[in-house]
Homo-oligomer: A and B are copies of this chain.
């Protein structure tokens, strides 16, 4: 009657968890199936009772991690636009990534490698996000950014949010803090919200 009996459907989740951590750190090629299995307490052969192969496992990990982001996007897309929707969106995303800190590095691996999952990732997740963001910016009364700068602004935000998590290893070397600690995420969230206000309101004047 325990909540997660070993050997049932829970095994699949435990494999995904272990795989997520290892794929995030070493990438697809750098991760040995045997190592994933060992972290779950299984033999490599047993993994193949749950996933058809390494590639399929990788994609399942990616899908599981990206799915909530897609849904988050869809929820936001349809809802009322209050004045601080931006701040709430930033907070939501930061919170989700904070709970799955391996995800951004995983996505970075995929993006950098130009992996096959990339096209789907772009279509189902990035494009709606961009559409939402651009629609938002168009609604500004005194916009700081021209329409052709919109994509750059969106991209900038992607890099700011994901970079915080993906760059964590080197940041924790240079600074003393762990970027994945809750208070670091909290601080980064407030910083990004402040930056968002600046980018929306300020007028940098002529170059």
Q: List residues of A whose CB falls within 8 A of some B CB.
A: 24-30, 87, 105, 108-109, 111-114, 118-119, 121-122, 126-127, 130, 144, 149, 151-152, 155-156, 158-160, 162-164, 166-167, 169-171, 173-175, 187-188, 190-191, 193-195, 197-199, 201-205, 207
Distance A175 CA – B195 CA, assembled complex (angstroms): 24
Question: Do the beta carbons of B151 and A175 come within 8 Å of each other?
Answer: yes
Name A130's contact: one of B113, B174, B188 (CB within 8 Å): B174
The residues of B that contact A27 with a CB separation of less than 8 Å are 27, 29-30, 109, 112-113
Distance (Å) between the CB of A181 and the closest chain B CB? 14
Separation of A191 and B152 alpha carbons in the complex (Å): 7
Q: Is the CB of B170 within 8 A of A160?
A: no
In the assembled complex, 9 residue pairs joining A and B whose CB atoms fall closer than 8 Å, in A order, are: A24-B112, A108-B112, A109-B112, A112-B169, A118-B173, A119-B173, A152-B187, A159-B164, A197-B205
Assuming A193-B207, A195-B156, A201-B204, is B188 touching A111 (CB within 8 A)? no
Q: Is the CB of A113 within 8 A of B26?
A: yes
Which residue from B26, B151, B155, B166 sits with its C-beta under 8 Å from A111? B166
Q: How far is the CA of A108 from the CA of B163 in the complex (A)?
A: 10
